[in-house]
A and B are shown apart, each in its own frame.
Chain A
Amino acid sequence: MSHYESPIRETLILGDKSYLDVSNDIAAPIEGKANRLWWIVFTIALVAFLWGLGAIIYTIGTGIGVWGLNNKINWAWDITNFVWWVGIGHAGTLISAVLLLFRQKWRMGINRSAEAMTIFAVVQAGLFPIIHMGRVWNAPWVLPIPNQFGSLWTNFNSPLLWDVFAISTYLSVSLVFWWTGLLPDFAMIRDRATKPFQKKIYGLLSFGWSGRAKDWQRFEEVSLVLAGLATPLVLSVHTIVSFDFATSVIPGWHSTVYPPYFVAGAVFSGFAMVQTLLIVMRKVSNLEAYITRDHIENMNKVILVTGGIVATAYLSEFFVGWYSGSSYEDFTYLSIGAATGPYWWAFWALILCNSVFPQLLWIKKLRRSFIFSFFMSIIINIGMWFERFDIIVINLSRGHLPSTWTQFSPTFVDISIYLGTIGFFFVLFLLYARTFPVVAQAEVKSILKSSGSQYKKEVAKQEDREYRAQGSN
């Protein structure tokens, strides 16, 4: 039996599904019409996006003086949002690559949407460093291309340039990984489309995928090797983002724990965003059979582990800062000075949202609850935004020279651009949910016989019979 799997392993596909049922379920949101709720949410997201776009145009036209930055706090919401979005963009590749290497079959219900979320989040992240340049038309200067200055090359010693390479490699490799996985699913939609226009579009998107045995053999090999490449890549991206801070000499930033701690934080926030999106999507797109309570619980377990790593990093940062006895370390973002100073609210938002509330997930009943998981994911998203805000703004607000001590207050432009990226993200995700196969149906079909509920029951019955037969001998 090629599909044998122990019946006590979790059931990943509920209901008595056949291969055709899987195709029908995944194609349904694409072939059906959008409901009212979709249009309402889409309109809100679109308005937010356009508003943010206006704020970006205003920023570029006038200069970044329209933001709340000042002499001391010269990075604030922009880089906070950048790191927040990149962090969110880590879950997709983690789910599709790392869980593939570990042969975790539960990834198959969620990997497509998680990867989509990754790509859309990294697009938002990429916007911030570019508009922070002020003169965005000079953005190509970050690329090592011959130029009219001599040539004066880019500085490969700079963590900011490492970021350029890391983020663009990550975005492009994630996109290719995602699209290659999409080809068979686009082909499925293409071959069942009845409208000629739809058939043409999906024919174009599917690159003429026909499902030959040799193609599948190559497809599986490519997926495995891409997973092997994407795993160190995803770890490297947030490592390099953390270098932006860790290689500097600012108290609170200059810290060797940053790379692993940032990666854990990225996975923590990325899984939270996956929960936020998928708990809603499984209901709206009728995917309850594919994204089950077990999937949500598994993701909550990952959140609990990475949240634990993050909390440990907070403790070590706090301890090392305190143990150094340096007065400069008493106003870093994890210190008694921060907890009681003018940014006490940001400090406590971080501690409560990231380290205290998520501990409730130890309770099995809560981590298997959809409603609770949804609210917890929102709390973690807020907490992880504050983590980056605290690292950047609290650390910059107090320097070595007390006369420079200051605070940051965002202008309406800062707020508008942030809301605009959230709007843009949801515009992309909502369009995706209506036009793309949101579950990797080809992969799900390949595990249907080992993890589908009716097959599980049959195997259990069969084994039971065999056991009884042995007992009577």
Chain B
Amino acid sequence: MSNKIIQAIFDDDDVLVAAVKKVRESGNHIEEVFTPFPVHGLDKAMGLKDTRLAITAFIYGVIGISFAVWMMNFMMIDDWAQNIGGKPSFSYAENMPSFVPIMFEMTVFFAAHLMVITFYMRSKIWPFQEASNPDPRTTSHLFMMEVDAGDNADAVSSLLKKVGATELKVVDKH
């Protein structure tokens, strides 16, 4: 294994997805792909596993509703029960209808915010984080595929040229 990678620039998303498939079929390892917008089918072509963020959102939502139930039960029933408009203040179950709005809001609040925080942590995006796309044009209109150069950089380069790369650059592995 060499410690070089080849950065291939593409100028079309359909060409890119086809190229990704061919590069993988030829047994080369794709390190990373940078694109300016979500290219549909790219994750499948690259063989990326499905993300589990939706599952985390569900778990966070369950935590949110449980927290809301615990909080209101503690505050309104256990800690300081009050007679408000004659509503049952001694039983969470009987007073529950008027707690539904906040149970719902807390579910959404927890699910949405904690999922987004998880996304930011997993993808390492937060304030003061430095951008790491090697070519600034890949956030605007170009696409970049980083391929492990392997033992034969020339062969990989010519394959990338053949599948439609417009520019090639060999760099050290970062």
Binding site for A on B (CB under 8 A): 13-14, 17, 32-43, 46, 48, 50-51, 53-54, 57, 71-72, 75-76, 79-80, 82, 84-85, 87, 95, 98-99, 101-102, 104-106, 108-109, 111-113, 115-116, 119-120, 122-133, 136-141
Residues on B with C-beta less than 8 A from A257 are none
- Beyond the given pairs A23-B141, A150-B80, A207-B125, 17 more chain A to chain B contacts, judged by CB atoms under 8 angstroms and listed by A's residue number, are A157-B76, A176-B113, A191-B133, A191-B137, A192-B136, A204-B127, A207-B129, A211-B35, A213-B35, A213-B42, A213-B43, A215-B123, A216-B42, A218-B119, A218-B123, A225-B115, A230-B112
Per the bound structure, the CA–CA distance linking A177 and B112 in Å amounts to: 9
Per the bound structure, the CA–CA distance linking A206 and B138 in Å amounts to: 14
Per the bound structure, the CA–CA distance linking A49 and B119 in Å amounts to: 37
Of A180-188, A263-271, A356-364, the one touching chain B: A180-188
* CB nearest to A24 among chain B residues: B140
A221 within 8 A of B: yes
Number of chain A residues whose Cβ lies closer than 8 Å to a Cβ of chain B: 70
Known: A23-B140, A209-B131, A218-B51. A152 touches B80 (CB 8 A): yes
User: Which residues, 445 to 468 on A, are CB-close (under 8 Å) to B?
Assistant: 445-446, 449
Enumerate 9 A-B pairs (CB-CB under 8 Å) in ascending A order. Answer: A162-B102, A172-B109, A212-B32, A214-B51, A221-B54, A225-B53, A233-B105, A442-B36, A446-B40
**A157 is contacted by which of B13, B51, B95, B106 (Cβ under 8 Å)?**
B95
**A208 is contacted by which of B76, B102, B106, B132 (Cβ under 8 Å)?**
B132
Residues on A with C-beta less than 8 A from B109 are 165, 169, 172-173
Per the bound structure, the CA–CA distance linking A215 and B33 in Å amounts to: 10
> B42, B95, B140 — which one has the most chain A CB atoms within 10 A of its CB?
B140
A144 within 8 A of B: yes
Binding site for B on A (CB under 8 A): 1-3, 18-20, 22-23, 144, 150-158, 161-162, 165-166, 169, 172-173, 176-177, 180, 183-184, 187-188, 190-192, 203-204, 206-222, 224-226, 229-230, 232-233, 236, 240, 243, 441-443, 445-446, 449
Known: A165-B102, A208-B124. A2 touches B51 (CB 8 A): no
